[in-house]
Structure 1
């Protein structure tokens, strides 16, 4: 597991919001807040117990009906985390094998169920991408206060959605994706740290 939170500067923040706007232009403030929680804390919000991580992953793989793209979304400006589509799991190499070149993966994917070993491996990678420590509420509130002027100016959120997000900030809790986001994009992904991602996929190839 990771021992320290990812440090992101203003340029990093602009980059990840630009990328999100490209892939998910209809994202609202709740979706952006979720993105930032993931950018700073990775997959820790989903729990750190391997069995629970694997169970949740296996259940979602059975339920999903469509290919989710982008296959990879950088949410840390190459120094933090990535959102990894569940549709990449069937292409995971055996544990310890060389990373799979991303360019070798078909441009048009078909629905493929991963092996049990691949689900196990992905669950391990997710767990290893979690932070050892829990979210520090005071630190997260301070981070949000620093980020808020830039976010407010960019998204101009309504008072209602702002209050909803602030309630989550006060508890250092993560939001779910908005109903509109789920309807439009049908997201199915998990969060991996870039160093762990690069042990299984050569993202430069």
Structure 2
């Protein structure tokens, strides 16, 4: 009986070990896919720009919506601040694609009414359980190892790595796009939860 039990435990451990390896392989593959897209579409990205994409996938737009009225006023000001439209209508965030970055061009080109867009944006924080920064810090560490292997010559890498580490150590997690990214790509978007976007926004896009 004891041999049978030990044999069963051994089989279970082998199964769990294999499952963990599969999860690790899947994680790395998805992170690499996200990195390939980022560096293909935005080759002048710095580590902070890459980090921003991954933290948005984990936290969504919650940090922008502590004050809904202020968020609405800021969105209207941003819409009025520019005329040249750049970038795709939408793109998934991070390695899981929990959210989409949705270009404000969908409003400016009258594809989606402002009220519908803002409602989708606000509702994208509902049901989100904030991830403890300690947990996100661990996940970012795994992502960073892959970035270091795949893109070791990324601009401002060491400075950004130190800044992000200090931010996480202090309990923060939010960063802004790098000045170069802002200048080169002029990003104007909001983060919308995947199921809301796919049900309410995507069907209206060409």
Structure 1-normalised TM-score? 0.75
Distance 1:63 1:161 in 2: 29
- Residue 52 (structure 2) aligns with: 34
**Superposition pairs of residues 142-181 of structure 1, within 5 angstroms:** 142-156=138-152, 157=154, 158-170=157-169, 171-181=171-181
Distance 2:71 2:199 in 1: 20
Question: Against the structure 1 CA distance between its residues 31 and 177, is the aligned structure 2 distance closer, same or farther, given a 3 Å change threshold?
Answer: same
**Superposition pairs of residues 20-169 of structure 1, within 5 angstroms:** 20-76=38-94, 79-89=97-107, 90-92=110-112, 118-130=113-125, 132-156=128-152, 157=154, 158-169=157-168
User: SS in structure 1 opposite 2:102?
Assistant: strand
Please list every run of at least 4 consecutive aligned residues from structure 1 whose deviation after the TM superposition is greater than 6 angstroms: none
List gaps (5 residues or longer) in structure 1: 1-7, 93-117
CA deviations over 1:111-141 (Å, ceiling 9, x no partner)? xxxxxxx222222211211254334111111
Question: Against the structure 1 CA distance between its residues 182 and 45, is the aligned structure 2 distance closer, same or farther, given a 3 Å change threshold?
Answer: same
Distance 1:204 1:88 in 2: 8
CA deviations over 1:79-123 (Å, ceiling 9, x no partner)? 52111110012211xxxxxxxxxxxxxxxxxxxxxxxxx222222
Instruction: Give yes or no for contact 2:30–2:96 (8 Å, CA) kept in 1.
Output: no
| Larger proportion of helix | 2
Query: Which entry has the higher C-alpha Rg, 1 or 2?
Result: 2
CA deviations over 1:125-174 (Å, ceiling 9, x no partner)? 11211254334111111111222210222232532221112122222321
1:188 aligns with 2:188: yes
Paired positions, count: 173
User: SS in structure 2 opposite 1:73?
Assistant: strand
Structure 2-normalised TM-score? 0.75
Deviation at 1:64, TM superposition (A): 2.1
Distance 1:126 1:9 in 2: 28
1:197 aligns with 2:193: no
CA deviations over 1:165-184 (Å, ceiling 9, x no partner)? 21222223211111110111
